[in-house]
Amino acid sequence: MMQVIPNLPLIGRAVELQAIGQHLAYARQYGLRVVGVAGEPGIGKSRLLTAAIEQTLVSHGQVLSGGATQSEGMPPYLPFLEALGDYVRQADTGVLREQTTFDAGVLAVLIPELVTRLGSMPEEQNIPVDQLRLRIFRAISLWLTHIATPHGLLLVLDDMHWADSASLDLLCALARNHANAPILVLVAYRSAEASESAVLQRTLVALNRQRILHTLLLAPLGTKQIGALAAAAGFPLHPAARRALWQHSEGSPFVAEELLRGWAAREVLTYDGVRWRLADTQTNTLPAGITLAVRQRLDMLPVPTRELLRVAALCGRSFESALLASCVEQHVEEIETLLGPALHAQIIELHGAVYSFRHTTLREILAEELTPSRKRRMHTQIAQSLEQHTTPSDARQVATLAFHFASGGDPERAVHYAAIAAANALAAAAPDQAIEQLQTALRLLPLNNAQRGALLLQLSEAALLSSDEYLALNTLNEARNWFAEQGDRHAAGDAALRLGHVYWRLEQLDRAQGAFEDAIQLLDTSASTQLVLAQADLGNLLAMSMHRYNEGLAYARKALLRAQQLEDEHTVAIVLRTLGNLLVRANYLAEGVPLLEQSLRLAEALGEMASAAESCILLSHAYAWNAELDRLPAMTERMLHLAQSAGDPYQMRHILTLRAKLAIVQGRWSDAERDIQEAQAAVDDVSSPEPQAFLLLIRGELAYERGEFEQACQHMSAAIAIYRELGPGLLVWFLGLLGQAQLAYGDLSAARALMVELSTLMDSTPKHALAYAEPLIQLAQLAMGLHEEARYSKIFRELLPFCNQWHNVLSDTVLGQLATAIGDVRAPEVLASAKTTALRLGMSPELARIAEAQADLAATQGRSGLNDVRRHLEEAFTQWNLLNNYTEVTRLQRRLAALDGAPASVLLPAGLSAREAQVLRLVATGKTNRDIAQQLILSEKTVANHVANILGKLGVENRAAAAAFAVRNGLVG
């Protein structure tokens, strides 16, 4: 008679369980941790997770548990949906409403049980699909953080070697953006299969890089531990039997348990009154490995029961008797009777009304035993049974139906459900799963089917969201040609328009232009929104990326005229924004700004908050370039309101950074620091690297304005490294800022190299556009700092069209400095204009620079201008002193002392002697000790002593740092 073995305790994993408890305690106190529980099938991962759950519940912690599954056709985020779905069904309604209020709409799309518990949900704003992913990640992450807040949360995610990419990306987002949440995530996976999953490997690398991943690799149990497992099962074994069990199970607790169950069923163990012995005749017939052990046990089940389990294995990890009865056309009572032996043999378990396989390996082996023809027939029966109980909103069941109908050989229904499942996946911002469903549908769909074109367009959209541009290109080319063959010029034109966007994204500009022109030709037979957008996009491409502003503006103007004729306010708002932005960037600010303002008003009136927020950002840049920074505070608050109303974290990517920038310009250091910290949280919510680079630049600018030049170089170097990856179009705007920081820090060679690189980048930028003005001002500052006098006149002439503007500094300030250097009579006028603007805008650092520029201008008048020189220098000194920039204060002190004829020793910093200062100047120019000795007619030993004294007085360790000090303190120039 078969002996029932009780559910066994955790054996041999005390150290691992204790480690999990310690990690949970750490997470509760210090923030989120991820523990990977890795091992081979049957090694005890799931049992360890169960023990960890029980341990956490004893300590009154919150536990959520879910897992991935091997079956195809699973919806995105399945492990999280299982965990949160159980929570929704059990949580207090009031608590649930409080935790999900802000993101209830987007959460309800993923977890329909929320609507059942909380009633109707607020309607979501129309968020672009490419930004919805961020919203979903934020919504679920915040919800988990709320759940965790009282007592900590243990989030258990099992079988993650089968997880979809959306689930793993969500895990990374949770870890990245909520590092302070009291959450411990247990991620269990099979070691061998994990190595074959590129997305899981990428996730583990990302988590490890954040230094929050800790891995528990479960090793096989030893002989004593296997013996303890057998004893717990009621079979204290004789040493020989214990060794045989350990040898044939290879230390796997699951295999050992299966072998014990098999031995007990076959009665091959004999009891001697103390221990159980294995009959000698059985020693050589024992199965080795997990598959044989399981099959041997399954062979002992009644044939009808085993046949039924094979069908159940196709249904999934869990199944209901009613579904199984429908599939095999038997009564539920008969099914439950047939399942009885499997329950008794502990092949399956019953929880409420749901059966589940005790281990995934059992299910895998049973499913493999079906013949291909039987599998196809059963897949069809499962699908037909599920279809009777499925609603369109049940994303999980729809995806399962698509899989079963496709596997069962019913292409028409498979295509129908695959298309719905793909739409659900896109709505959940899970493009990889949408791609799988759409490729399945297209593979099954006849070439001449009318649905094909729409599915191709949907596949291209999913491919772009998955950053697979080449799949998108191939799909769109196929769609464009398919629609053209069908005689549908409008749809073919729409595909060509999308094709242009992809080519543009890949920087294949000529092909992008060709695709947009193709779209216009196909669409030009009748007025349509798509034609307007094609013209606007072509104009944008020509102007912004190909620097053909006149052609680009012509297309944009034509698009606006057509949009107005269509009386489509939504399209008008888009084209107004496009044309206004092109005009601004072409330096037609007076014409472009009103169009941007009109676009903003129209988008707000239409309730399109995301579009309005984008118009706000463009307007903010335009106001800044137009030296109207006083309009930015109100605009920033407006942008914040719009972005929050849209519920779109992407729109927050620059808003707080711009606010920090304004605080820096006005010398409000503490406000800037606060805004930078807030901006960092917003930037962390965005996957694009560009907002991170811009924030790093702002950090660098704050350090620069405070005289912390080394720190400025560090932040700006990190930013420029990102901009280099993003391409020259963005790099040219900011490269010179790093050069200025390097110049201030004393790294003259690096600054000179950047100046040359910047000059080369500017060669491909139109000289009349604002994209030229910003780097031109940076080039001017570098040239003056490096005394590249041959560049002055040319830069001055090129900068004149941008007078009365602001490009990180006032253009009039730089014009005044250049005019002074080349002796142009306009110097007093432009410096006075700069000062008027700086006073109006409260630009304290700029006022200090202007005052010093006016001192330099007064110095050109000789002795008659000395009083003005002193007055302006004192004004600059006062400004920097109020700003606590003691680097600039010290430098200006020396200039003022020089005017009063103070001895050199008074003017020299760090107590340097005149000779030491002389040596330091030569060190800073790159001279060796031998060179210095020859130039000053000293011995090398004397020079070496001087250098040693200099390093000691400056408190630096090497010549490079000493050279930087010399430059910062005006000892070289």
Amino acid code (one letter) for 130: D
Sign of CA dihedral 949, 950, 953, 954: negative
Comparison of pLDDT for 647 and 78, the residue scoring more: 78
Helix (H, G, I), strand (E, B) or coil at 321: helix
**Choice among 209-218, 420-429, 759-768 with the minimum mean pLDDT:** 420-429
User: What's the whole-model pTM score?
Assistant: 0.72
pLDDT for res 591:
96
Average pLDDT over residues 736-759: 94
Taking 80 as the threshold, does the pLDDT of residue 354 lie above it?
Answer: yes
Q: Which residue, 817, 858, 822, is CA-closest to 834?
A: 817
pLDDT of residue 427: 82
Model confidence at 298: pLDDT above 50: yes
Which tens digit of pLDDT belongs to each residue from 523-574?
A: 987 778 999 999 999 999 999 888 899 999 999 999 999 999 998 899 999 9
Averaged pLDDT for residues 118-141: 73
Q: What was the pLDDT predicted at 287? A: 47
Percent of the chain scoring above 70 in pLDDT: 93
pLDDT of 687 over the 70 cut: no
Strand-pairing partners, residue 319, are 355
Per-residue confidence (pLDDT) for residue 122, from 0 to 100: 62
pLDDT class for 652, splitting at 50, 70, 90? low
Rounded distance between C-alpha atoms, residue 584 and residue 589, angstroms: 5
Q: Which of 109, 180, 174 is nearest to 685 (CA)?
A: 174
Check residue 71 and give its pLDDT. Answer: 64
Please check the confidence at residue 649 and state whether its pLDDT lies above 70: no
Within 63-164, where are the H helices? 78-90, 93-100, 104-110, 113-118, 129-148
| First vs last C-alpha separation in the chain | 98
101, two tokens: 């209020």
Which one is predicted more confidently, 640 or 215?
A: 215
Buried b (16+ CB within 10 A) or exposed e, 437-473: bbbbbbebbeeeeeebbebbbbbbbbbbbbebbebbb
Mean local confidence (pLDDT), 27-45: 91
Given a cut of 80, whether residue 409 has pLDDT beyond it is: yes
Instruction: Give me the amino acid identity at 834.
Output: A
Residue 128 clears pLDDT 90, i.e. is over it: no
pLDDT tens digits, 187-224: 999 988 888 888 899 899 889 888 899 999 999 999 99
pLDDT at 467: 80
Quickly state the pLDDT bin for 365 (edges 50, 70, 90).
confident
Residue bearing the bigger pLDDT, 296 or 659: 659
Structure-token match 């009564």, residue found? 331
Given this model, what pLDDT does residue 967 score?
Answer: 78
Look at residue 904 in the predicted model and tell me its pLDDT. 45
Residue 392 confidence (pLDDT)? 53
Residue 262 has pLDDT above 80, yes or no: no
Q: What is the pLDDT of residues 133-149, one digit of tens each?
A: 878 888 899 899 999 98
Whole-number pLDDT of residue 284:
43
* Distance between CA atoms of residues 968 and 973, nearest Å: 10
Do 896 and 873 form a contact (C-beta atoms < 8 A)?
A: yes
